[in-house]
Every structure is written in structure tokens, then in C-alpha cells.
A and B are shown apart, each in its own frame.
Chain A
């Protein structure tokens, strides 16, 4: 067992874990953060994507012990004071989800993508989501959701500047 200390969705946590425990298992089984899900065993699907110190990672491909000292944000930590993150809002607005299983990973990766490129082209969005599989939507509305979020965020900023 190895002692780890980290911050998950703003909450400091400490646990003894087996070194083999994956970050995603730690989140789900120890912390009850079941919003983050496991869709494959080869790191292709991206359903388990979370942010580790501000960038997206596949939490099945990180050991919990590697996250010691880090700050993790999951899908459950996005909404603030009951207000959805603009990307969450955009996924609902644009019907960017159906069964919703890939959605936590899609949203987390979309946020990362927009953090790096606030005004992405459709091609940039599609390439930026190449590590996330969805079987329901055909990606059409996911792409639209990311575009929508980009527009919403920039118009918010514009309003902010104007005010």
C-alpha cells in the first residue's frame, strides 16, 4: 500500500492504495466518483477522461499513485454552485449525447480542446476528439456542441468586455 494525497473536484483526499490501482478505479471505487466511467481496456475510448493538473488524461492510463500530489477534476466537479459548465450546457443544447456513457469523457476532452484552442475549426474539433469514441451520436452533434460552447464562451467574454 502506498499513501497518496490529492485534490479531487476541490476536495482534499488521502488514502492508502495498492500501486496497481488505476486512477479511474480509485475515483470510482474509493471516492464514489462514478460519473467517470470505464469503456475499454486499451485506452482507445476516452470515456474515463479527467483533468490532471489542468490537462486531459485517460484515467485508466494513470496509476492512482502517479496522481499523488495532483489536482484532479472530473465531470462531477465541473458545475459550480448548481450552474453547468458551458460545455455541459452545450452538449444538452445540441443533443450531443444519447446513452451518455461516453459523455463524461467527451465533455472533459472538449473542455481541454477549447482551453487550448478557443475558436477551433470543425476539423480541429474532430481531430481534438480523436481519442474519444461514441457509438450513439455519429459525432455530428458532439461537434456542434463544441462549436456552440466556443461561441457561447466567446460571446460571454465579449459581453464581459462590453460591460
Chain B
């Protein structure tokens, strides 16, 4: 319950933060970045990790907030889930994110936990990875040599591993505007406070009754969030009907390698992915009132 001792620094600018990382990293110390802390602090309390330094980003104002970047939204990495969930720009241009963070963890965690922190933590069962991936987010990463932008497809590397280097900080996430798209995040859990067993993030643009474009991301179906491109392709040009959508959704688990654990075997998760994808897409298209019970 009590973390091992560590040194603590709370820089007020990104430059100071990078400097702290460089300094302590160079000294060979194990350094952890503290964003909202809602995943890191439990790990420290259980002493599953014992860094020598903790660099707290919460006092860097420039990392917070959502702004309009023209054809995309800019979400500061330290913007809380709660702020993302209540942001009108996000609701208008990236509804899928609004839907995904609304039931992420619980209210207290959403008040502290941050959008960038959760993405950088890269838990494949986390609720923001799949929507970010589905919406073609790009990730702005600051490092000693300046900033670089990484596309979503390259950001998630493995379980708890991203393209962010040890001397780097995720500063912003850019979300291309999906204005007017319908969206739904279908999350399957046994109890509410649980990480999703499987979840599906779906956003669609309708042209009349036809699906013009679709984006589908999968949570906890592999070591990283996944994009169900086969489903997306199969949906384009099809009517937003139950039969058509379910047919396309049958491809949801193609190529996925989901885990087996207490909450379900891999085969069950594959099955869930197809069922939930169908439901998520239909709900995103505003075509379906059916929700998974629970």
C-alpha cells in the first residue's frame, strides 16, 4: 500500500520536464513519468515498480485542454478523461472519444486520469487506445531534439509499449475531425469497475441509408489496440441494416490474437468481437436500440 521511496520533481514547462528526464536518465536512474497517476500509482503501491525518480507533468499548463486545429482537434496529453468527455469540440468532431471516455473506469478516475497518460500507458484493455486508433489519431512527441509526430498505426508497439522514447514526452494528440459521424463504444464487462473483456469502438459516416465510411477499433483483442480494417472495408457502400452490418462484422476478429484469462478464452473473445462489432456499428449508425445487457 505504500510505494517504495522515490525522488520527485514537478516541472512547469515541457522543456524542464525533458531536462529532468535527460538528467536523471543519463545518471542511470529509473525514471517514471507521472501523468494522472491512475494506473501508475496502483503499480507503485503494489511495489510492482519502484522508480528512483518520478517526473510529474501535472503542473505544466500547456499540456492541458482541447483546441481546434483546423481539420483536426488538438488534445493536450494532460487533459483529463472527464474534460475530454465534457468537451463540446470533442463531442462535435470526435464523438467516438466522448462515448469511449464517458464510461472509462469511474468518475473519480476520470477526474484525475489523463487522455495522454492512458495512451502512453498503452494497456491493450484501456478504453482510449482503440478509439484513437480508429480515428487515425497522430501523436506529438517531444524529445531532446524537438517534436516529432507519429501516426496511430505506429504509436502502439506492444503491451505497455509505445513509440515514446525514454527521454520523450507525449504532448498532444491530434484527432482528424469526424464531424457528423455517428459513433458508439460497446464495452463488455462482467462488473462495471472492471477493465473491458472486449470493447469495440465504431464510428460511421452515413450517406442516406448507406455506410459511406467506417472506422472500427478493438480493445483487448491483442497486445495493442487493433483496427478492424477488414470490417471497415466490408462496411463501405453497404446499407446500414442488421444483416449487412452483421455480415461485415463477422470479420472483426480476423488476425486478432486475444488473450485468455479468467474472463474468457481467446475463442470467446473472438466471438464477442464479432457480435459487439455488429452492435457497435449499428448503434453508431443510429440503427439499433439493442444494447448488451449489463
Q: Which residue of A lies closest to B56 (CB)?
A: A66
**16 A-B residue pairings within 8 Å (CB atoms):** A19-B5, A19-B8, A41-B46, A49-B108, A57-B108, A57-B112, A60-B41, A61-B42, A61-B108, A62-B37, A63-B56, A66-B10, A109-B107, A130-B107, A130-B192, A131-B109
B6 within 8 Å of A by Cβ? yes
Number of interface residues of B (CB under 8 A): 31
A43 in contact with B38 (CB, 8 Å): yes
Q: Among the listed A42, A66, A113, A132, which residue makes an inter-chain contact with B58, where contact means beta carbons less than 8 Å apart?
A: A66
Give Cα distance in the complex from A61 to B107, angstroms: 13
Within 8 A of A (CB), among B93-115: 103, 105-109, 111-112
Neighbouring B residues of A18 by C-beta, 8 Å:
5
Q: Give the complex CA separation of A61 and B6 in angstroms.
A: 16
- Chain B residue contacts of A22, Cβ below 8 A: 2-3, 41, 45
**Contacting residue for B105 out of A38, A128, A131, A133, CB 8 A:** A131
Given A49-B108, A113-B107, A42:B37 Cβ within 8 A? no
Closest chain B residue to A24 by CB distance?
B1
**Cβ contact within 8 Å between A20 and B192:** no
Summarize A's interface: helix, strand, loop or mixed. mixed
Number of A-B pairs, beta carbon distance below 8 Å: 92
Decide: B106 and A130 in contact? CB cutoff 8 A.
yes
| Total contacting residues, chain A, CB less than 8 A | 33
Interface string of A126-137 (1 = CB under 8 A from B): 011011110000
Q: Please give the residue numbers on chain B whose beta carbons come within 8 Å of chain A beta carbons, in ascending order.
A: 1-8, 10, 34, 37-38, 41-42, 44-46, 54, 56, 58, 82, 103, 105-109, 111-112, 192-193
Q: Are B41 and A44 in contact (CB under 8 A)?
A: no
A148 proximal to B (CB < 8 A): no
Question: Given A128-B107, A130-B193, A131-B105, do A19 and B41 touch, yes or no (CB 8 Å)?
Answer: no
Contact B192 A65 (CB under 8 A): no
Residue of A at shortest CB range from B10?
A: A65
B102 closest partner in A (C-beta): A127
**Residue pair A19, B54 in contact (C-beta under 8 Å):** yes
Q: Complex: how many Å from CA A66 to CA B54?
A: 12
Which residues in A have their C-beta under 8 angstroms from that of B44? 20
Q: Chain A residues with Cβ under 8 A from B193's Cβ?
A: 44, 130-131, 133
